[in-house]
Structure 1
Amino acid sequence: MMQITNGDKATLVYIGEDYYQDFVTIVNKGIEMFYQKVLTILTCLDLSNNSFHGRIPEEIQMLRSFRVMNLSNNGFSGEISLALQNLKDLESLDLSRNQLSGKIPPQLSSLTFLEALNLSYNQLEGSIPQSNQFMTFTNDSYRRNPKLCGLPLSRKCNEVGLRMPPPLGEDEDSWLYAMSTWKIALIGYANGLVVGLCIGYTVLNELGNKWVEKFKKCGKRNRRRCR
């Protein structure tokens, strides 16, 4: 899968013949395709449905001839490797159903040949890049990443960041979330009550002082007139 440079010309060489005689079935750009023979123009890596785990290795950037990469249904974790930006010929990338987290690297928008992208069923977050090929992908590319936002999703991003409600079914987290909400409401109510009492006391005290002063002045003349 590496480019073998012969002078200024880059050529691809398989070990053996010019093509494999064995047939193979490959998921290419989201479509399952059957190949009776594999020509050298097809450079594909399909490691899906295994138990690989850990971070996507940086060494993958050495395989610059990739056109199709499928690492779905594994246990890859951590952030999406920036090494993928060096695979300039990549046409299809499937990283779905892993445990990838963090933001989608905006550097991946430099993959201008990328026609199919699947990042669904991960733990990605933040805004989706809004340039080049990323403008062509649909909601299906990002399904089940509840902390992702921005087009093509209907979930909008804000400057502070998304505040997600507690997951359904987690009674303890839901209870803590409800208690924190009530605490905020009670604090606001108490502050408003104190401010209201202070204002009321000030107004009544001022009116009382004026009434006492008026009563004293009138008492010297005729108290009945001042009733």
Structure 2
Amino acid sequence: MQLNSYFLPSSTLEILDLSANRLEGQIPIPYSPLLFVDYSHNNFSSVLPNFTSYLGTTYLSMSNNSINGCMTDSVCSGIMGVFNLSYNNFSGPIPACLIESGGLMVLNLRENNFEGTLPSKITSECTFQTIDLHGNKIEGKLPRALSNCSKLEVLDIGNNLLLDTFPSWLGELPNLYVLILRSNQFYGSVDDVVGNYQTREYFPTLQIIDLAANNFSGNLNSKWFRKLKSMMMRFNSAGDIVSAKNIPGIQAFYQDTVVITYKGSEVTFGRILSTLTAIDLSNNRLEGTIPESVGRLVSLRVLNMSHNAFTGKIPTQLGGVTDLESLDMSCNQLAGEIPQELTNLTSLATLNLSDNRLVGKIPQSGQFLTFDINSFEGNLGLCGPPFSKPCGVSLAPPSPARVEKSSNVDVILFLFVGLGFGVGFAAAILMRWGRIRKWFVKSARALWT
């Protein structure tokens, strides 16, 4: 259905919800300001350039449409609270005022085609709780002024073109729950400055950190894991929802989402519970041993360290992370035996230790009885189920009697071979001699005649 007017008739409404229909064309704008406006999940393709100046709204969502075009600085007037344009086709640079003004609490521009660099002048009065720029074409560095946003809970800049070092300075933010940096061009160590936080808190509330598919390198410092205090506390089974809780009346309408690799697949969580804890360091160039301090993160549910160059043994302390549901350490250079302590992980649903240098018997209790060969393949030294290769079986040297018998057989075979060769050779000579004798007799007769 296409609406024929760019403006909706004036009314005394405070809420306009046209979401989840089949509306298309240009988005209609109400004449009078509204507190709540939702155009999401339709087929709208365009919007007036200065559309927000007509709204004066606390909540505006145009997500999941097909809107294209660029945005100008005029978009910053008349909007506060939640601004959600995710899953559209917007392009061009992000208007600097959206980030620098500090008036928004939620800025969600996820999965568009925004490009250019991020503005660097962010006010100390920053009120952001969520910044979600995942899946665009943003390049350059992450603005250090984001450290002014003390209320920031969710920062997702994954799947862009950012080129920078690990933002350890974000560790000072007291409320940061979620940090997604995956699929960019971040490089260097992830803990080279951890020493600067010896007496201060460092990511005190962080519960989801995704650094996958970058160029991080070097060793992991054991102190880095010890600083993640929120992952060291046990939670109840329900947990709270991470949301824009400081915006009155908005919690029922807006909830942050996150996409992480969970149990071997990319999973979208429509609600971020405070009990969802995850660390993803996969597809980097990290090396050295895995610190034993990872075993202190007792509330951790997802741990992915695959496709790196880790060496040494799997820490036995991981057996104490009993809430762990997904563990992936595949495609490294880990050696030694699989710790028996891992059988204590009664919640473990997915395990991948493939393509390492592990040896010995695979544990045969607990959740390990549920894992198939895919969890262990590529480790030539492993034995026992689910492999057909038994453990503790070696080829014994042959007994003296068998050696003597084998030797006698070899002598007899040698004699028969030699005899056969001799007979064949003699027969060949006789046959040859017979032909020569016939030729000689035939030649002599011809001469005398």
TM-score for the superposition, normalised by structure 2:
0.33
C-alpha deviation, 1:124, in angstroms:
0.4
Question: Identity rate of aligned residues, in percent?
Answer: 45
Greater CA deviation, 15-24 or 104-113?
Answer: 15-24
C-alpha deviation, 1:156, in angstroms:
1.1
Give, in whole Å, the separation in 1 of the partners of 2:234 and 2:345: 22
Instruction: Report the 3-state secondary structure (helix = DSSP H, G, I; strand = E; otherwise coil) of the residue aligned with 1:73.
Output: coil
| Structure 2 segments unaligned to the other structure (5+ residues) | 1-229, 246-250, 396-402, 412-449
Q: 2:288 aligns with which of 54, 63, 73?
A: 54
The letter of the residue matching 2:304 is N
Equivalence for 2:353? 119
Equivalence for 1:109? 343
Equivalence for 1:64? 298
Equivalence for 2:231? 2
Give, in whole Å, the separation in 1 of the partners of 2:364 and 2:234: 35
Equivalence for 1:205? none
Equivalence for 1:151? 385
Give, in whole Å, the separation in 1 of the partners of 2:346 and 2:313: 21
Give, in whole Å, the separation in 1 of the partners of 2:266 and 2:334: 24
Instruction: Report the 3-state secondary structure (helix = DSSP H, G, I; strand = E; otherwise coil) of the residue aligned with 2:335.
Output: strand
Q: Highest CA radius of gyration, 1 or 2?
A: 2
Equivalent pair of 1:4/1:10 in contact (CA under 8 Å): no
Equivalent pair of 2:242/2:274 in contact (CA under 8 Å): no
The letter of the residue matching 2:263 is K
* TM alignment of 1:1-227, pairs within 5 A: 1-4=230-233, 23-158=257-392
Per-residue CA shift, 1:55-103, capped at 9, x if unaligned? 1101112211101110101111001111101101111100000100011
C-alpha deviation, 1:24, in angstroms:
3.1
C-alpha deviation, 1:37, in angstroms:
4.4
Instruction: Report the 3-state secondary structure (helix = DSSP H, G, I; strand = E; otherwise coil) of the residue aligned with 1:53.
Output: strand
- Compared with structure 1, are the counterparts of its residues 156 and 61 closer, same or farther at alpha carbon in structure 2 (3 Å cutoff)? same
Greater CA deviation, 31-40 or 90-99?
Answer: 31-40
Equivalent pair of 2:359/2:382 in contact (CA under 8 Å): yes
The letter of the residue matching 2:275 is I
Instruction: Report the 3-state secondary structure (helix = DSSP H, G, I; strand = E; otherwise coil) of the residue aligned with 1:72.
Output: coil
Equivalent pair of 2:314/2:339 in contact (CA under 8 Å): yes
Equivalent pair of 2:242/2:273 in contact (CA under 8 Å): no
Instruction: Report the 3-state secondary structure (helix = DSSP H, G, I; strand = E; otherwise coil) of the residue aligned with 2:319.
Output: helix
Instruction: Report the 3-state secondary structure (helix = DSSP H, G, I; strand = E; otherwise coil) of the residue aligned with 1:135.
Output: helix
C-alpha deviation, 1:158, in angstroms:
1.5
Greater CA deviation, 30-39 or 81-90?
Answer: 30-39
Instruction: Report the 3-state secondary structure (helix = DSSP H, G, I; strand = E; otherwise coil) of the residue aligned with 2:266.
Output: strand
Give, in whole Å, the separation in 2 of the partners of 1:104 and 1:2: 24
Give, in whole Å, the separation in 2 of the partners of 1:4 and 1:27: 23
C-alpha deviation, 1:39, in angstroms:
2.0
| Structure 1 segments unaligned to the other structure (5+ residues) | 163-187, 197-227
Equivalent pair of 2:238/2:275 in contact (CA under 8 Å): no
Give, in whole Å, the separation in 1 of the partners of 2:258 and 2:316: 30
Instruction: Report the 3-state secondary structure (helix = DSSP H, G, I; strand = E; otherwise coil) of the residue aligned with 1:52.
Output: strand
C-alpha deviation, 1:143, in angstroms:
1.1
Give, in whole Å, the separation in 2 of the partners of 1:14 and 1:64: 20
C-alpha deviation, 1:49, in angstroms:
0.7
Aligned length: 167
Per-residue CA shift, 1:29-57, capped at 9, x if unaligned? 11211234422121111111111111110
The letter of the residue matching 1:129 is P
The letter of the residue matching 1:136 is T
Per-residue CA shift, 1:110-141, capped at 9, x if unaligned? 11111110000100011100111111100000
C-alpha deviation, 1:11, in angstroms:
10
Equivalence for 1:224? none
Q: Quick one: higher RCO (CA 8 Å, sep 6+), 1 or 2?
A: 1
The letter of the residue matching 2:329 is L
Give, in whole Å, the separation in 2 of the partners of 1:5 and 1:82: 20
Give, in whole Å, the separation in 2 of the partners of 1:31 and 1:66: 18
- Compared with structure 1, are the counterparts of its residues 22 and 13 closer, same or farther at alpha carbon in structure 2 (3 Å cutoff)? closer
Give, in whole Å, the separation in 2 of the partners of 1:131 and 1:100: 22
